Amino acid sequence: MELTTVWFGLITVLWIGYFCLEGFDFGVGMLLPVLAEDDTERRVLINTIGPVWDGNEVWVLVAGGATFAAFPEWYATLFSGFYMPLLLILVALIVRGLAFEYRAKRDDDAWRRNWDISIFVGSLVPSLLWGVAFANILRGVPIDSDLEYVGGFFDLLSPYALLGGLMTLLLFLTHGAMFIALKTDGPVRHRAGRLAVRVGAGAAVAAVLFLGWTQLETGSAASAVAFALAAASLLAGLHAALQRREGWAFVGTFAAIALGVAGLFLALFPDVMPTSLAGGASLTTSNASATHYTLTIMTVVAAIFTPVVLAYQAWTYWVFRKRIAVHHIPQATAVTSRA
């Protein structure tokens, strides 16, 4: 197998990890004003992802770095053509991270309310725009014969792309609700379980429409299998949620997102960014890749450090595996500065 194919597969795995793990982070953030009835319950929701949200974001950093090193032409065209949506995602992630850190710094309702809004918006914007971005990558964007993006921001907002954004938004909401039902106890747990089924029904409709559209336009036999398994996993997860089996419900949405992302990359391969112009040139794993020597060095480094990172993150989830309830939350205290 060629190293370009190996690194296309590794980047696929990195995006799968990011969407599966950061996906429920985003879902929890968007559900903060929906499921929590008071500040204590909001703290319960935030604490479910408190130990892991920053580690989950590392996946997208590694995916970006791997793309830069393995497929520099893809990275250059992607970040120049998608500059505005990627900038909005970056700003949203920065604001969201600040909100997690600064929310408890003052014992003031207005202060906490403003940071809660930041968490909500900082979770909603990436949930929508990641779907829009990947939909455009799949369908193709205006790339000329010099491998340069020649379109504008509004060229990215086609009905297909917006449907992709709606799908990721609803999937992350469902995934987040499943995670909350799995990680909490008491009234929040029951509200999350009921909401997961309702939102999941909408996510299933959006996923079938988007993935079916993708399969008709750019799909392959392998992507069709992945999409079918993703749909089956989502339905199985919703069925488990109805039976109040939160663990299997979360596994169902996790598998649905993983298989869906895998199917999207299978539908894309061997392209990495197809062109929508008649006289343009598509970026492929061949013409967008780095040198063989670079890919060889990267493969050795990845083989050494990837298992270490995976083991550490798995250990983190194991340590913080227990449920959280209102009675676990101590009285809020503000951090004051000394003169």
Please compute the mean of the pLDDT values over residues 52-57 and round it to a whole number.
89
Please compute the mean of the pLDDT values over residues 247-263 and round it to a whole number.
96
User: Which of 48-57, 116-125, 227-236 comes out lowest in average pLDDT?
Assistant: 48-57
Supply the pLDDT for residue 338.
40
Supply the pLDDT for residue 333.
55
- DSSP collapsed to 3 states, the chain: CCHHHHHHHHHHHHHHHHHHHHHHHHHHHHHHHHHCCCHHHHHHHHHHHCCCHHHHHHHHHHHHHHHHHHCHHHHHHHHHHCHHHHHHHHHHHHHHHHHHHHHHHCCCHHHHHHHHHHHHHHHHHHHHHHHHHHHHHHHCECECCCCCECCCHHHHCCHHHHHHHHHHHHHHHHHHHHHHHHHECCHHHHHHHHHHHHHHHHHHHHHHHHHHHHHHHHCCHHHHHHHHHHHHHHHHHHHHHHCCCHHHHHHHHHHHHHHHHHHHHHHHCCEEECECCCCCCCEECCCCCCCHHHHHHHHHHHHHHHHHHHHHHHHHHHHCCCCECHHHCCCCCCCCCCC
Supply the pLDDT for residue 1.
67
User: Which of 93-97, 228-232, 237-241, 321-325 comes out lowest in average pLDDT?
Assistant: 321-325
Q: Over 50: is that where the pLDDT of 92 sits?
A: yes
Supply the pLDDT for residue 224.
95
Could you report the per-residue pLDDT of 29-42, keeping only the tens digit for each? 999 999 988 889 99
Please compute the mean of the pLDDT values over residues 308-325 and round it to a whole number.
89
- Mean pLDDT in the chain? 90
Could you report the per-residue pLDDT of 188-245, keeping only the tens digit for each? 999 999 999 999 999 999 999 999 999 998 889 999 999 999 999 999 999 999 999 9
Domains of the chain, CATH where assigned: 3-316 (1.20.1630)
Q: Over 70: is that where the pLDDT of 334 sits?
A: no
Supply the pLDDT for residue 239.
95
Supply the pLDDT for residue 235.
95
